[in-house]
């Protein structure tokens, strides 16, 4: 990020002195990020992590398909927020100052608004339930803060538990964006009836994707993205597996490299998947349907490689806030 004026420098100086905090209350995972700005401010990856925490709450489990957050999920949810409150206190951060975002599970649950109010009463958090379009935009900002996208369009993909966001964009702008309510938890509930997954269920899932993702494929035919950028836990895990298997850091994963991992995931049961080097226990259940989704999209669009952004929604929230502060 380039900041020229004395006014911007004065604003930056104040920002350097105080930590920034954000919560991402996702369908599968709750994230807390406490960060400060790097000084001097670089063009990419401007945040230095002070504290990072994620808890597998799975608030969509046994309820997302019925549009409700059940009592067991609520218990996990409040336990996670109590842990986060301790972390905020450690860094002397007022919960009311935290940028807290809730996504698919809470925005679609019949008791979502009620739960947000209960959380405000107990923790003092001001949670914003964001719609899919805003979620996609914030993911774009996160990726843009992490890495150069390029002057040619890229397809950005974020696989959450409740929804999947697709953005076609360049360094300069978002060309197209859409959120689909077909996250990994939803696909798991609909199609993962056996472990390993049955070939018939794979075909049913692919048929479902062909129907539901037609708006994406139409946009790809129009804008012709040249590669894929993945953000979120699924892509982090695929990167970890690829690096564990090759013994080398990878900046990009080719489609053929991904396919080798993909076929392993389809053939193995849960315990066998856990034994794959680099596998995250947090992702082991839903990575099968997530991998089928990614494979189908890359194949249909004709993308030969993907890159992984370690910034996503929560960093996008901070980057958008930072950009706003420095330009107003």
Per-residue pLDDT tens, the chain, 328 aa: give them: 655 556 566 666 777 778 999 999 999 999 999 999 998 889 999 999 999 999 999 998 887 888 899 999 999 999 999 999 999 999 999 999 999 999 989 999 999 999 999 999 999 999 999 999 999 999 999 999 999 999 999 999 999 999 999 999 999 999 999 999 999 999 999 999 999 999 999 999 999 999 999 999 999 999 999 999 999 889 999 999 999 999 999 989 999 999 999 999 999 999 999 999 999 999 999 999 999 999 999 999 999 999 999 999 999 999 998 888 777 6
CATH of residue 125's domain is 3.30.420.40
Range of the domain at 53: 6-129
Q: Is residue 322 part of a domain?
A: no
Asked if residue 70 and residue 152 are part of one domain, the reply reads no
Beta carbons within 8 Å of 88's beta carbon, 6+ residues apart: 21, 32, 34, 94, 95, 98
Q: Is residue 226 part of a domain?
A: yes
Q: Is residue 138 part of a domain?
A: no
Q: Is residue 185 part of a domain?
A: yes
Centroid of chain to Cα 277: 22
Among 63, 94, 129, residue at a domain's last position = 129
Asked if residue 124 and residue 235 are part of one domain, the reply reads no
CATH of residue 154's domain is 3.30.420.150
Asked if residue 161 and residue 289 are part of one domain, the reply reads yes
**CB burial readout 139-163, b (16+ within 10 A) else e:** bbbbbbbbbebeeebbbbbbbbbbb
Among 129, 156, 182, residue at a domain's last position = 129
Q: Is residue 34 part of a domain?
A: yes
Other beta carbons within 10 angstroms of residue 100's beta carbon come to: 26
Identify the pLDDT of residue 15: 72
Asked if residue 175 and residue 110 are part of one domain, the reply reads no
Among 94, 129, 164, residue at a domain's last position = 129
Asked if residue 167 and residue 114 are part of one domain, the reply reads no
Asked if residue 172 and residue 305 are part of one domain, the reply reads yes
Q: Is residue 192 part of a domain?
A: yes
Give the model confidence (pLDDT) of 290-327 as tens digits: 999 999 999 999 999 999 999 999 999 999 988 887 77
Identify the pLDDT of residue 181: 95
Asked if residue 108 and residue 218 are part of one domain, the reply reads no
Question: How many folded domains does the chain comprise?
Answer: 2
pTM to 2 decimals? 0.94
Identify the pLDDT of residue 2: 56
Asked if residue 187 and residue 87 are part of one domain, the reply reads no
Asked if residue 154 and residue 75 are part of one domain, the reply reads no
Q: Is residue 319 part of a domain?
A: no
Asked if residue 84 and residue 228 are part of one domain, the reply reads no
Asked if residue 174 and residue 296 are part of one domain, the reply reads yes
Give the model confidence (pLDDT) of 202-244 as tens digits: 999 999 999 999 999 999 999 999 999 999 889 999 999 999 9
Q: Is residue 50 part of a domain?
A: yes
The Cα 149–Cα 126 span in angstroms is: 32
DSSP for 196-229, written as a single string: SPPHHHHHHHHHHHHHHTHHHHHHHHHH---SEE
Asked if residue 282 and residue 187 are part of one domain, the reply reads yes
Residue 6 to residues 3, 250, 318, 322: CA-CA distances in angstroms?
9, 40, 22, 16
């Amino acid at each position: 990020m380039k900041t020229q004026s004395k006014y911007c420098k004065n604003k930056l100086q104040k920002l350097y002195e105080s930590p920034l905090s954000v919560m991402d209350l996702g369908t599968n995972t709750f994230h807390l990020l406490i960060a400060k700005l790097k000084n001097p401010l670089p063009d990419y990856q401007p945040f230095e992590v002070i504290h990072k925490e994620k808890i597998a709450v799975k608030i969509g489990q046994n309820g997302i398909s019925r549009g409700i957050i059940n009592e067991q999920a609520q218990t996990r949810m409040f336990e996670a927020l109590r842990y986060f409150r301790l972390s905020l206190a450690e860094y002397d951060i007022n919960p009311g100052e935290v940028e807290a975002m809730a996504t698919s599970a809470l925005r679609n649950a019949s008791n979502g608004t009620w739960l947000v109010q209960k959380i405000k009463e107990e923790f003092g958090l001001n949670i914003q339930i964001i719609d899919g379009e805003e979620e996609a935009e914030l993911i774009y900002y996160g990726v843009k803060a992490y890495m150069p996208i390029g002057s040619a369009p890229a397809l950005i993909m974020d696989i959450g538990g409740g929804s999947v966001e697709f953005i076609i964009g360049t360094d300069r702008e978002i060309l197209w964006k859409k959120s689909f309510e077909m996250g990994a938890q939803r696909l798991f509930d609909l199609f993962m009836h056996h472990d390993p997954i049955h070939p018939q269920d794979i075909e049913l899932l692919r048929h479902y994707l062909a129907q539901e993702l037609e708006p994406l494929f139409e946009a790809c035919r129009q804008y012709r993205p040249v590669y894929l950028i993945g953000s979120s836990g699924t892509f982090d895990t695929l990167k970890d597996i690829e690096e564990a298997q090759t013994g080398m850091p990878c900046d990009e994963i080719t489609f053929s490299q991904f396919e080798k991992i993909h076929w392993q995931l389809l053939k193995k049961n849960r315990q066998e998947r856990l034994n794959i080097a680099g596998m995250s226990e947090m992702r082991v259940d839903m990575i099968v349907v997530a991998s089928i989704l990614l494979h189908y999209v890359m194949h249909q669009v004709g993308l030969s490689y993907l890159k992984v952004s370690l910034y996503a929604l929560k960093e996008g929230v901070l980057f958008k806030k930072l950009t706003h502060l420095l330009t107003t």
